[in-house]
Structure 1
């Protein structure tokens, strides 16, 4: 019953009309009154923001803020995978022979996440990382490895929450939410970056259509909340270097390949 009520709430509040209302409010100048309470509530680090708090004209301006130049250090080791976002590494593990993995006691199918059996099979026996971005985090995403994009496409429409409650009670949000998938060919094999929208949020913005990926370079942002999932092809020996539930920042190494 609880799941049914939760899903009904999401379907009512996640429709295009309510999403437009939410976007209008957060983009409006009247939302400026909410900026300081928002920053205080979520303990946003104002020292690393590009501008002082008074500079931002709306709540969304603050949410999509840039950081000061040099605020993040990018690991340049040739064999490292870096975090593409500031967030919590909420899960890390291996994809099994059936192309599935378990999150919060729910089984996820790669074929449903990628919308295609052939694409999903690329990451069989590979690794995955799930990085959750809370309202307090910097909401731009960066390339976790250098390479060339060979596939980019969008799936899904309604967006369930991707926090702990959403994962427990939602309808497998990672495989049903609006998501933008980018696949990169690297010297270590293929890496997929799945950017997942959250409640009322189907707003994933790319900076350009360039296929060139430079490790650590920014290539887009989320308008509100979100999650990023990384899938790593099982090509070389690959070892995570950061434990689950760690807070990570853009540019921080989270795994490494060993040829």
Structure 2
């Protein structure tokens, strides 16, 4: 029974009414008693949270928690690309010439994901990483590299659950979900950070509107389960440092550029 209840918080269908009810419940004080069993069920590392569990007023407050200062060390080396999230590196590789990439054993169009074929051009033959965040993960996203924000835009209107069933039933899942794309101009070329909403509530919150991107800085969070995809421009040689199905945390070294 507990399994079904908690799954409903992170794996709803895209129905707007049920999503609205979920938002109301999880953001209200009524959900506060569920924080402790939720943390226990998903084996969340409670000692990393910024505050004591009793100080959060709703399940959503706890789910979107910040971490204690210095919980995620950041490598200052400018040639190092770091993981922008805590999660599972579900797949990674080179974007092929037909602008398709692999996500959970299915291929998706790069141009459809970014919304325009011209947006996809810089990332052709570049590198990509796909990170899946489960309910147990810290749900903030951070800058993977320093640089200047040159583009930020949203696409899609409907979100579906990011799980195996959702992907089987919705072939173009990632090309129709609500997503927020941030493009960073770095010393090694463009880096696109694609945040994909997992539920109809589309709860992707940005920390601010700054154009200064500092590697490791927090620049937003998800309110529910989610996926983050990085696209790296094919301008300088990038050597990946992790294989697929690797558990990573914010700040972990995932690639190195040739200086």
TM-score band, normalised by shorter chain: over 0.9
1:130 aligns with 2:125: no
- Give the structure 2 partner of residue 182 of structure 1: 182
Structure 2: segments with no counterpart, 5+ residues: 1-11
Structure-to-structure mapping, 1:26-65, within 5 angstroms? 26-65=26-65
- Give the structure 2 partner of residue 89 of structure 1: 89
Shift of 1:164: 3.2
Shift of 1:170: 2.6
Structure 1 residues 75 and 167, CA, compared in 2 at 3 Å: closer, same or farther?
A: farther
Structure-to-structure mapping, 1:141-160, within 5 angstroms? 141-160=141-160
Three-state SS of the structure 2 residue aligned to 1:201 is coil
Shift of 1:153: 0.3
Shift of 1:252: 0.9
Structure-to-structure mapping, 1:71-110, within 5 angstroms? 71-110=71-110
- Give the structure 1 partner of residue 219 of structure 2: 219
Distance of 2:104 and 2:73 partners within structure 1:
32
Distance of 2:225 and 2:72 partners within structure 1:
20
- Give the structure 2 partner of residue 241 of structure 1: 241
Which deviations, in whole Å up to 9, do the C-alpha atoms of 1:77-107 show, x marking residues without a partner? 1101100110000010111011112223322
Number of residues paired by the alignment? 248
- Give the structure 2 partner of residue 7 of structure 1: none
TM-score by length of 2: 0.92
Structure 1: segments with no counterpart, 5+ residues: 1-11
- Give the structure 1 partner of residue 203 of structure 2: 203
Shift of 1:221: 0.6
Whether the 8 Å contact between 1:161 and 1:170 is mirrored in structure 2 is no
Distance of 1:145 and 1:65 partners within structure 2:
23
Distance of 1:228 and 1:46 partners within structure 2:
23
1:255 aligns with 2:255: yes
Distance of 2:105 and 2:28 partners within structure 1:
40
Shift of 1:141: 0.6
Distance of 1:105 and 1:46 partners within structure 2:
33
Shift of 1:76: 1.1
- Give the structure 2 partner of residue 3 of structure 1: none
Three-state SS of the structure 2 residue aligned to 1:85 is coil
Distance of 1:236 and 1:43 partners within structure 2:
40
Which deviations, in whole Å up to 9, do the C-alpha atoms of 1:170-201 show, x marking residues without a partner? 33222110000000111100000000000333
Whether the 8 Å contact between 2:90 and 2:103 is mirrored in structure 1 is no
Distance of 1:138 and 1:22 partners within structure 2:
20
- Give the structure 1 partner of residue 167 of structure 2: 167
Which deviations, in whole Å up to 9, do the C-alpha atoms of 1:125-146 show, x marking residues without a partner? 0110001110001111100000
